[in-house]
Amino acid sequence: MPNPLYRRNIISVSDLTTGQLELLLHTALKLKAEPRGDLLAGRLVASCFFEPSTRTRLSFETAVQRLGGQVIGFADGANTSAKKGETLADTARIISGYTDAIIQRHPKDGAARVLAEFSKVPVINAGDGTNQHPSQTLLDLVTIYETQGRLDKLKIAMAGDLKYGRTVHSLCQALKRWGCEFAFVSPPSLAMPDYITEELDEAGCRHRVLPNLETAAEWADILYMTRVQRERFDEQEFARIQGRFNLDPSVLAGAKANLRVLHPLPRVDEIHPDTDATPYACYFEQAANGVYARMAILSLVLNEEV
Ligand code: CP
């Protein structure tokens, strides 16, 4: 029997069953422990980034090449025929005629699903607008599992921009499967959207709003930081909230020993560099896990058996 992800599009965490997420997680851990250089031999993958990226693009491209495959693509949509008005539907028809899979990052919500509708080969969503970032979720799950030894019934605090941050949306939709409890710390205008809190309610996962990072750090097993973007606020409002969502070692004074701080990165001011030397900092290990998470996705989508 082929694995259930063979030839599948990976667009949203919500499309994946808990069993499929577990398969991805365990494949990533296996590929980290036992590297394979053959799983994409003879395969050509398109890496199409219409929006800036450091980690996602380079770790996907590293994953393809370390698995024995080859990559074509672009890092800037401004150099493609999208600039001349070519539609995503035609882009899908063209690139899927050249390659075995397409990885796409795009600034518009829903762009990955549109591409998949017109592609003859599997599409992997590398982030679409404020919507979804499923490969980031998988590397977050790998890191949480590695650091906590389990996924079930963990206390997950999320801080920063919870409204527009696609990584926290995808991660809630994954971790609700394992009965996790959630706490949110954000400016009111950047609170977690209702559709996510409603999904948590339906899954029976408790969630609360906490007033500051100190309380969240004392409560949580995982503190997932995100960037509050200055451009979301007028100058006065930004001056009022600035600093309230920034982490430094003093904020972690009351943390439990098992607390780990994650961040999808890039960071700007929200995690002070002094935090990097604390035993809680785990964001660089998290970013490194991106290669194994993306190896797992590519291997399972492009091979009947792994
Ligand atoms: N975490 C993340 O998506 O980083 P990049 O934007 O650098 O890919």
Cα of 2 from ligand 1 centre, angstroms: 31
In a domain, 263, yes or no: yes
In a domain, 270, yes or no: yes
Residue 116 sits in the same domain as residue 143: no
In a domain, 6, yes or no: no
- Ligand 1 atom 4: residue of nearest CA: 55
DSSP secondary structure letter of residue 214: H
Residue 121 sits in the same domain as residue 237: no
Q: How far apart are CA 278 and CA 295, in angstroms?
A: 29
Please tell me the predicted confidence (pLDDT) of residue 230. 76
Mean pLDDT in runs of 10 for the chain (306 residues)? 94 97 98 97 98 97 98 96 97 98 97 98 95 96 98 98 92 98 94 97 98 97 91 78 89 98 95 98 98 98 95
Measured from the CB, is residue 265 less than 6 Å from ligand 1? yes
Asked whether the beta carbons of 109 and 130 are under 8 A apart, the reply is yes
The enclosing domain of 271 has a CATH number of 3.40.50.1370
Q: How far apart are CA 229 and CA 160, in angstroms?
A: 9
Instruction: Please list the active-site residues.
Output: 55-56, 84, 105, 133
Q: For residue 133, give the ligand 1 atom closest to its CA.
A: 3
Measured from the CB, is residue 56 less than 6 Å from ligand 1? yes
Q: For residue 290, give the ligand 1 atom closest to its CA.
A: 1
Domain of 163, in residue numbers? 135-287
Q: Which of 165, 164, 109, 171 is nearest to 140 (CA)?
A: 171
Please tell me the predicted confidence (pLDDT) of residue 128. 94
Asked whether the beta carbons of 106 and 80 are under 8 A apart, the reply is no
ipTM passes above 0.90: yes
Measured from the CB, is residue 55 less than 6 Å from ligand 1? yes
Residue 185 sits in the same domain as residue 227: yes
Cα of 54 from ligand 1 centre, angstroms: 6
H/E stretch holding 299 reads: helix 283-302
Distance from the Cα of residue 146 to its chain's centroid:
16
Q: Two tokens at 135?
A: 């490969």
Asked whether the beta carbons of 116 and 184 are under 8 A apart, the reply is no
Please calculate the CA angle 85-91-94 and round it to the nearest 5 degrees: 130
Number of structural domains found in the chain = 2
In a domain, 294, yes or no: yes
Q: Two tokens at 280?
A: 């809680």
Cis peptide before 266 (omega within 30 of 0): yes
Residue 113 sits in the same domain as residue 152: no
In a domain, 105, yes or no: yes
Residue 154 sits in the same domain as residue 269: yes
Binding site listing = 55-56, 84, 105, 133, 136, 166, 227, 265-266
In a domain, 1, yes or no: no
